[in-house]
Amino acid sequence: MTDIILYTIITLSATGVIAAIILYLVAQRFKVFEDPRIDLVEEALPAANCGGCGYPGCRNFAEACVKSDDLKGLFCPVGGNDTMAHVASILGMEAKEQDPTVAVVRCAGSFDKRLRINYYDGPASCAIESNLYAGDTGCVYGCLGHGDCVMVCDFDAIHMNTVTGLPEVTDAKCTACGACVEACPKHIIELRKRNKKDRKIFVCCINEEKGGIARKSCEVACIGCGKCVKVCPHEAITLENYLAYIDPVKCRLCRKCVMECPTNAIHEINFPPRKDEDSGEQEISALNGEQIKSESDLTNNADI
């Protein structure tokens, strides 16, 4: 009995050793070489694995950087220019700087501006509701308000405003990963150039219906009147399908278009209070009018 146990142990041990040797030889034979620079690049990345670069994760992005002849078309929005400069130094390449961007919600159809005409009774998901019907308001382009964009944000940079029913972006936390852009079935979220002090001017509407129909659905809809196009000195505004669009690259933040918009569809964000340049002139005109009226009354009294 003891011999049987001993032979069994020896046989199993020998089998294990032989199998290990075979596996080792096979592994060496089919071993895939991996560039050690991939690990270095991955360590330089922020490890967000958000997919904003266009790859499933930071590891995949690192592999793409190492295998590429240059870094053109490769950019980590979370790490930004500093991270890409570090990656370029590791690979001995040059990384072209890009303007930082930030997510912008292009819908101002709050509860008081875009009244409901029916009520949705189903799963609280923008993706599901958009597949079922146009929405619970007259505007088929507006925000559905279920917060799919909030759920996919890994940086706590977007929240739903319970008063307006619209998502709001916290610029300081936004990394421009683009997850919210992809999650929105109505495509109302856009990545725009991040200016100094996070100032931005944009048309907060994507309704492409004719002016009268759009205005009937939402009080602050763009009606395609074209006044903003005419007043823009930088040719930054285009009008197509009854909808104005401000190019964030061409826009110089002069704010002339904001004052011209009759529906307040153009929003100006993070600007100082506007100085009322016309108030002084209006006061002078009013005083002059009162003075003329007084002189006229005196003349009439004198004639009497």
pLDDT grade for 285, boundaries at 50, 70 and 90: very low
User: What torsion do the CA atoms of 183, 188, 191, 194 make, to the nearest 10 degrees?
Assistant: -130
Spatial neighbors of 80 by CB under 8 A, at least 6 apart, are 100
Q: What is the pLDDT at residue 301?
A: 37
Domains of the chain: residue spans and CATH:
37-91 (1.10.15.40), 101-269 (3.30.70.20)
Please say whether the dihedral angle defined by the alpha carbons of residues 50, 56, 57 and 60, taken in this order, is positive or negative.
negative
Q: What is the pLDDT at residue 32?
A: 67
Q: What is the pLDDT at residue 276?
A: 62
**Percent of all residues in the chain with a pLDDT value above 90, rounded to a whole number:** 69
- pLDDT (tens digit, 9 = 90+) per residue, 272-282? 987 764 444 44
Q: What is the pLDDT at residue 134?
A: 86
pTM score of the predicted model: 0.75
Average confidence score pLDDT of the chain = 87
- pLDDT (tens digit, 9 = 90+) per residue, 154-185? 999 999 999 999 999 999 999 999 999 999 99
Q: What is the pLDDT at residue 26?
A: 84
Please say whether the dihedral angle defined by the alpha carbons of residues 10, 11, 13 and 18, taken in this order, is positive or negative.
positive
Summarize the confidence of residues 141-148 as an average pLDDT: 96
Q: What is the pLDDT at residue 1?
A: 61
- pLDDT (tens digit, 9 = 90+) per residue, 70-110? 998 899 999 999 999 999 999 999 988 988 999 999 999 99
Range from 28-32, 66-70, 266-270 carrying the lowest mean pLDDT: 28-32
- pLDDT (tens digit, 9 = 90+) per residue, 185-219? 999 999 999 999 999 999 999 999 999 999 999 99
Are the C-beta atoms of 111 and 87 separated by less than 8 Å?
A: no
For residue 284, pLDDT beyond 80:
no
CA 107 – CA 175 distance, rounded (Å)? 21
Q: What string of DSSP letters covers 91-133? A: HT--------EEEEE-----TTTS-BSS---S-S-HHHHHHH-
For residue 294, pLDDT beyond 60:
no
Summarize the confidence of residues 265-286 as an average pLDDT: 67
CA 304 – CA 299 distance, rounded (Å)? 9
